[in-house]
Chain A
Amino acid sequence: MPGKHLRRLPAALVVAVAALALAACGDQYPNTTFTHLTDLNTATDALWNRLLLLGTIVFVFVEVLLLVTIFKFRKRPNSPAPKQVHGHALLEITWTAIPALILVMIAIPTVKTIFKTQAKAAAGSLQVEVIGHQWWWEFRYPELGVTTANELYIPAGRTVNFALKTKDVLHSFWTPNLGGKRDLISNKTNYLWYTPNADIADQVFNGFCTEYCGSSHANMHFHVYTVSEGDFGKWVDHQKTGALGSPIAATPVMAASMPGMPGMKRDAKVAAAPAVNTAVNTAVNTAVNTAVNTAVNMAADSGYVFPVGKIPAHTIPSTPLPTGEREVKFDDTLLPNGNAVAGRELITSMANLGKAPCLTCHIVKGEMTMMGLTDNSASGPNLTHFGTRHTIAGGIYRSDAKILARWLKNSRLMKPGSIMPTLGTGELDPQSGKKLAAGLDDRQIADIVAYLMTLK
């Protein structure tokens, strides 16, 4: 009776493996690690192929041997008593030596690949600082003066050297299509480099955080855009500038608090704050409103932005808006009439709402900066060219006015654990469990959405 069951084992195994193999071949796997899109992944994949080949041989050999053994030596009626064998030195030496030999065949290319891929990046490679935050990614191009968030542009064909750091807990930087991951370790800088093939311009790749980092670990994505050298240059030229909708460097005070300006001590920045506010009140109020209005009305020249039409579906996030208890209700009819000028006003002065202004945590290069905020002290993503980005909130939502409005109203329902505070009046802050008494109404949020969307 049990023997009958056992005879089904090989058949069941074959069917299971075949079904899985078929399942694995019949479809599109957009995040596959089996690519040759970079030098790093080409090297890794060669190693993997050897591991898979040897692993499969060992697997088939051992399982077939096991199945043959249990089939051949199953108890039959009247079978003679088995010969009592206690061991066999030669056999045992053989099956110690053969695995050792197989491991040598793995070890040699492993060591070669380790030293090849962990060598210093070639001189002249593009330097990118990757900084992990709970739960979004900051990308800085220190040689180019560009800071952005969650969307990484790299030129196809040029080696890019990532310097990996974290602002808080551990994270891990991984783009499955492009190559192996590397952790972001507090108080340490890690490096990872690869060269995207020259022929993979105009493609988008998903990136993930792969080290558990708290509540929204699952919501910490990013996107890598590989572009041609020419497009990359255009993109950099534009991203370097302040936001078009902003009064760029309207006053010297603001210039002094721009990111990257040396010599500013923390106390000095605090002391400078009242001066900033005065400056804003005088100079900005007059000149700026016009600038914003103009910006909103004119067709924005946003330099190079990765064209929407070329973005593959799997890199467009389709995270649904939360429903049920976590639903964020918003009057969408307000959105088309959002007033960017009023929105700009709000992000700098929310004191009347008992809230810290947006610019306490976010930098919009060209706008006034609170407390001498710099890239290093800003706790939220740099929003300078927010309007050129295709995603928001750590790459989990499309950049879309309706989603953005809800995000501003109560990001903590949209992304568990979100550090950005709940802003909508009357909204329940899931982290404190309290309702927000004084905050923004839908009208004001629509205005801020309108302003943010002008930041091309």
Chain B
Amino acid sequence: MTTYASSAPEQTGIWSWITTVDHKRIGTMYLFTALFFFLFGGLEAGLMRVQLARPNQAIISAEMYNQLFTMHGTTMVFLAIMPLSAAFFNYLIPLQIGARDVAFPRLNAFSYWVYLLGAVFITFPIFFHIAPNGGWFGYAPLTTNQFSPGANIDFWVMGLQILGISSLAAAFNFITTIINMRAPGMTLMRMPMFTWMSFIVQFLLILAFPAITIALVFLLFDRFFGTAFYDIAKGADPLLWQHLFWVFGHPEVYILILPAFGLVSEILPTFSKKPLFGYNVMVYSGIMIGFLGFGVWAHHMFAVGMGAVADTLFSMATMLIGIPTGVKIFNWIATLWGGQIRFVTAMKFAIGLVGLFTIGGISGVMHSSPPADLQQTDTYFVVAHFHYVLFGGSMMGIFGGIYFYFPKMFGRYMDEALGTWHFWLTFIAMNLTFFPMHFSGLLGMPRRIYTYDAGQGWEKFNLASSLGTLLLIIATAIFVINFFKSRKGGLPAPQDAWGAATLEWSIPSPPPEYNFARIPIVTSRSPLWDLKHPEMSSGAAHADADPVQVASANAVPLREETEHHTAAELGIPMPLNTVKPLLTALGIVIMFSGLMFIHLDHFALAMAVSLSGAALLIGSLYAWLFSPLE
């Protein structure tokens, strides 16, 4: 409470970004960084599709191809889709629950910097042709020293651990934020659906990441210190890795898709002018998906010979998860039903998700049946399946979310004409790329092969996939042009850019650093509709809840805030900018990097680098903890 408004909204310059602890600025940085890595991962895919466009090509070497497919998966999962979701968590959760920031603003900055540095650490080796090459799944024993003596896998093992720190710190932060910082009257069952899905995702993160952390620590000890968790010569069972990896890896799928489900659940009601159909069931099905997601991991392992009983159990659990997912699809369609549908770009992407994710869901049920899966697993059929889930699902939802929230973030609309081009090209290109993979897989084409022979019946499907990828790159280029063009020159957007129902639309665009001048009292699931279209809320079951007790002297009934004041004028204490989270993050990454020199037999150098990293970590952490927040 010592300093007010040291970070005034006018603050500009690179230093203000480096030291920011504002969740909106951090969210924006997540968005830009993650979009960069999305483009990077897309170009990696583009190179692979060039190589596979025709049989028996030698444009890319086997070794480079193996690095490309490893990094494409790793990049898209850990450096693109997860942080794109994190951009929305950061930006939206406080706004949607009526809070002024996240619970731990500096920890939030720390999460971002760890992510950025970890992403650089795991990505730069590809420019030196020493990128990780064991697949994003890193199956032992291929990733042990015996079979992968180079530094490639070291970058992967350490990079993923660094990125895990970022995800865990962020997850605890958002859980605390959502539990503690909701505006008065914002009961759990009044939270916007995006916040609900994000809430579930944070629990998935804190439960799933320990599993892969254990797996990675074992591997790191094997590679650097001679333990034998995965050393087959000493009798290791390589299935240990697979179980640990997929206990993480399957919930990870829901970590990637649920935020997109949340975004779509915001977009569909807004442009149908109807509330989300079956809110409660949507919440429960999200929780159900998250819960069941931990009981299905071994469906990735039907070919490893677990035996008939285990195969049966995991098969049944996997089928079960189709039920809550199906419910979501039908509830979205029911939301549209009877509405007044406006086909803005955001809406097109949201409807695209409903249509395309359905295909991924159906093929998912197809390999929940182990005997059928044995003809599908590790073929292009599976590649088709999860791209319908992750591109047709996650990415369509995220693109929709970007078009939807762009006016909130930058105060301007994205261009609708370019957006329409982007949508239709993406829609066509994504089907052209991934639908033929169903065929190439079922017609015998294995995954992860850098070349294939002519005359195997796969040529035209591969050519189609490659042409589709080219089109997809063009479509994404249109998006990038639109993004940067609209940021400076888009149509100015009012604060309630789309006529939506939730709190974030009641404040200016872009929001002031303190978000809400007065914390609003929330009385329903669609507070802004209550305010602006009271006729639309009549008879809503959720409005019958007990009248809210005013919990805070500061809280007032919701009104649209249009005046611009600084935090100082309003007397709102804001957290101080600080560089310490970045220094702490840097310390962690340097500490890990030191280990790299062990493999080069520079033990003293390794110790020196690691210890100086540790010193930086401890020093800046202490400085951080002893400096006041406000």
Residues of A within 8 A of B (CB): 1-3, 5-6, 12, 16, 20, 23-24, 27-34, 41, 43-44, 47-48, 51-52, 55, 58-59, 62-63, 65-66, 69-70, 73-75, 79, 81-88, 91-92, 95-96, 99-100, 103, 106-107, 110-111, 113-115, 117-119, 134, 164, 168-170, 172, 174, 176-177, 179-183, 185-188, 190-191, 206, 208-219, 313-314, 317-320, 322-324, 326, 396, 416-417
Kindly list 8 other residue pairs between chains A and B, CB separation below 8 angstroms, not including A58-B358, A110-B312.
Answer: A20-B436, A44-B371, A75-B340, A83-B338, A95-B330, A110-B368, A110-B371, A111-B316
Q: Judging by beta carbons under 8 Å apart, are B315 and A86 in contact?
A: no
Contact A12-B428, Cβ < 8 Å, known A2-B343, A73-B337: yes
Q: Judging by beta carbons under 8 Å apart, are A185 and B62 in contact?
A: no
The CA of A84 and the CA of B272, in the complex, are separated in Å by 10
For residue B427, give the distance in angstroms from its CB to the closest CB of chain A: 8
Residues in B whose Cβ lies below 8 Å from that of A168 = 141, 147, 232
Q: Is B615 an interface residue (CB 8 A)?
A: no
Residue in A closest to B374 when the chains form the complex, CB atoms: A180
Q: Judging by beta carbons under 8 Å apart, are B323 and A103 in contact?
A: yes
The CA of A323 and the CA of B59, in the complex, are separated in Å by 11
The CA of A179 and the CA of B376, in the complex, are separated in Å by 11
Residues in A whose Cβ lies below 8 Å from that of B334 = 85, 88, 91
Kindly identify which residue among A87, A115, A179, A396 contacts B281, using a CB–CB cutoff of 8 Å: A87
The CA of A330 and the CA of B455, in the complex, are separated in Å by 28
Q: Is B446 an interface residue (CB 8 A)?
A: yes
Residue in B closest to A55 when the chains form the complex, CB atoms: B362
Kindly identify which residue among B354, B376, B448, B458 contacts A217, using a CB–CB cutoff of 8 Å: B448
The CA of A228 and the CA of B460, in the complex, are separated in Å by 35
The CA of A185 and the CA of B536, in the complex, are separated in Å by 61
The CA of A22 and the CA of B461, in the complex, are separated in Å by 12
The CA of A95 and the CA of B325, in the complex, are separated in Å by 11
Q: Is B239 an interface residue (CB 8 A)?
A: yes
For residue B136, give the distance in angstroms from its CB to the closest CB of chain A: 10
Q: Which of B189-197, B204-212, B437-445 lies at the binding interface?
A: B437-445
Q: Is B391 an interface residue (CB 8 A)?
A: no
Residues in A whose Cβ lies below 8 Å from that of B320 = 103
Q: Judging by beta carbons under 8 Å apart, are B351 and A66 in contact?
A: yes
Q: Judging by beta carbons under 8 Å apart, are A218 and B370 in contact?
A: no
Q: Is B19 an interface residue (CB 8 A)?
A: no
Q: Judging by beta carbons under 8 Å apart, are B272 and A31 in contact?
A: no
The CA of A217 and the CA of B69, in the complex, are separated in Å by 13
Binary CB contact string for chain B from 136 to 151 against chain A (1 if under 8 A, 0 otherwise): 0001011000011000
Q: Judging by beta carbons under 8 Å apart, are B439 and A20 in contact?
A: yes
Contact A3-B343, Cβ < 8 Å, known A84-B274, A182-B305: yes
List the 3 shortest-distance A-B pairs measured between CB atoms, nearest first.
A31-B444, A180-B374, A218-B449
Q: Judging by beta carbons under 8 Å apart, are B341 and A74 in contact?
A: yes
Residues in A whose Cβ lies below 8 Å from that of B358 = 58-59, 62-63
The CA of A174 and the CA of B444, in the complex, are separated in Å by 9
For residue B536, give the distance in angstroms from its CB to the closest CB of chain A: 5
Residues in A whose Cβ lies below 8 Å from that of B273 = 81-82
Residues in B whose Cβ lies below 8 Å from that of A84 = 274-275, 536-540
The CA of A317 and the CA of B319, in the complex, are separated in Å by 40
The CA of A100 and the CA of B324, in the complex, are separated in Å by 10
The CA of A96 and the CA of B431, in the complex, are separated in Å by 28
Q: Is B66 an interface residue (CB 8 A)?
A: yes
Q: Is B339 an interface residue (CB 8 A)?
A: yes
Residues in A whose Cβ lies below 8 Å from that of B428 = 12, 16
Instruction: Give the B interface residue count (CB, 8 A).
Output: 116
Residues in A whose Cβ lies below 8 Å from that of B373 = 180
Contact A96-B453, Cβ < 8 Å, known A185-B239, A322-B58: no
For residue A335, give the distance in angstroms from its CB to the closest CB of chain B: 24
The CA of A317 and the CA of B456, in the complex, are separated in Å by 10
Q: Is B372 an interface residue (CB 8 A)?
A: yes
Q: Judging by beta carbons under 8 Å apart, are B322 and A114 in contact?
A: no
Query: Can you list 23 A-B pairs, Cβ within 8 angstroms, ordered by A?
Result: A2-B343, A6-B343, A31-B457, A33-B443, A44-B375, A51-B365, A59-B359, A81-B340, A86-B541, A92-B327, A95-B326, A95-B327, A106-B369, A117-B371, A179-B374, A181-B378, A210-B377, A211-B303, A212-B66, A212-B135, A215-B66, A314-B457, A317-B453
For residue B100, give the distance in angstroms from its CB to the closest CB of chain A: 30
Residue in A closest to B307 when the chains form the complex, CB atoms: A118
Q: Is B280 an interface residue (CB 8 A)?
A: yes
Q: Judging by beta carbons under 8 Å apart, are B456 and A30 in contact?
A: yes
Kindly identify which residue among B239, B311, B362, B536 contacts A81, using a CB–CB cutoff of 8 Å: B536
Q: Judging by beta carbons under 8 Å apart, are A96 and B327 in contact?
A: yes
Residues in A whose Cβ lies below 8 Å from that of B555 = none
Q: Which of B275-295 contact A (CB under 8 A)?
A: 275, 277-281
Q: Is B366 an interface residue (CB 8 A)?
A: yes
For residue B10, give the distance in angstroms from its CB to the closest CB of chain A: 38
The CA of A368 and the CA of B451, in the complex, are separated in Å by 38
Contact A218-B439, Cβ < 8 Å, known A81-B340, A92-B327: no
Residues in A whose Cβ lies below 8 Å from that of B448 = 212, 217-218
Contact A107-B238, Cβ < 8 Å, known A58-B362, A70-B341: no
Q: Judging by beta carbons under 8 Å apart, are A44 and B374 in contact?
A: yes
Residues in A whose Cβ lies below 8 Å from that of B556 = none
Q: Is B187 an interface residue (CB 8 A)?
A: no
The CA of A106 and the CA of B323, in the complex, are separated in Å by 13
Kindly identify which residue among B322, B348, B376, B536 contacts A99, using a CB–CB cutoff of 8 Å: B322
Residue in B closest to A62 when the chains form the complex, CB atoms: B358
Q: Is B355 an interface residue (CB 8 A)?
A: yes
Residue in B closest to A218 when the chains form the complex, CB atoms: B449
The CA of A317 and the CA of B451, in the complex, are separated in Å by 13
Contact A31-B142, Cβ < 8 Å, known A66-B351, A115-B308, A180-B374: no
Q: Judging by beta carbons under 8 Å apart, are A73 and B327 in contact?
A: no
The CA of A208 and the CA of B378, in the complex, are separated in Å by 11
For residue B289, give the distance in angstroms from its CB to the closest CB of chain A: 13
The CA of A87 and the CA of B334, in the complex, are separated in Å by 8
For residue B238, give the distance in angstroms from its CB to the closest CB of chain A: 5
Kindly identify which residue among B62, B141, B540 contacts A215, using a CB–CB cutoff of 8 Å: B62
Residue in A closest to B335 when the chains form the complex, CB atoms: A85
The CA of A445 and the CA of B377, in the complex, are separated in Å by 42
Kindly identify which residue among A3, A47, A185, A320 contacts B305, using a CB–CB cutoff of 8 Å: A185
Residue in B closest to A211 when the chains form the complex, CB atoms: B378
Q: Judging by beta carbons under 8 Å apart, are A85 and B141 in contact?
A: no
Q: Judging by beta carbons under 8 Å apart, are A210 and B371 in contact?
A: no
Q: Is B237 an interface residue (CB 8 A)?
A: yes
For residue A255, give the distance in angstroms from its CB to the closest CB of chain B: 31
Q: Judging by beta carbons under 8 Å apart, are B272 and A73 in contact?
A: yes
Q: Judging by beta carbons under 8 Å apart, are A188 and B343 in contact?
A: no
The CA of A295 and the CA of B394, in the complex, are separated in Å by 66
Q: Judging by beta carbons under 8 Å apart, are B278 and A92 in contact?
A: yes
For residue A274, give the distance in angstroms from its CB to the closest CB of chain B: 29
The CA of A31 and the CA of B338, in the complex, are separated in Å by 48
Q: Judging by beta carbons under 8 Å apart, are B371 and A318 in contact?
A: no
Q: Judging by beta carbons under 8 Å apart, are B371 and A216 in contact?
A: no
Residues in A whose Cβ lies below 8 Å from that of B75 = none
Q: Is B535 an interface residue (CB 8 A)?
A: yes
Q: Which of B78-100 contact A (CB under 8 A)?
A: none
The CA of A114 and the CA of B424, in the complex, are separated in Å by 42
Residues in A whose Cβ lies below 8 Å from that of B439 = 20, 23-24
Q: Judging by beta carbons under 8 Å apart, are B323 and A99 in contact?
A: yes
Kindly identify which residue among A32, A164, A206, A216 contacts B62, using a CB–CB cutoff of 8 Å: A216
The CA of A428 and the CA of B287, in the complex, are separated in Å by 58
For residue A371, give the distance in angstroms from its CB to the closest CB of chain B: 20
For residue A34, give the distance in angstroms from its CB to the closest CB of chain B: 7
Kindly identify which residue among A16, A110, A180 contacts B435, using a CB–CB cutoff of 8 Å: A16
The CA of A210 and the CA of B432, in the complex, are separated in Å by 24
Q: Judging by beta carbons under 8 Å apart, are B141 and A170 in contact?
A: yes
The CA of A364 and the CA of B464, in the complex, are separated in Å by 46
Residues in A whose Cβ lies below 8 Å from that of B377 = 181, 210
The CA of A134 and the CA of B375, in the complex, are separated in Å by 23
Q: Judging by beta carbons under 8 Å apart, are B362 and A416 in contact?
A: no
Residue in A closest to B451 when the chains form the complex, CB atoms: A218
Q: Judging by beta carbons under 8 Å apart, are A48 and B307 in contact?
A: no
Q: Is B129 an interface residue (CB 8 A)?
A: no
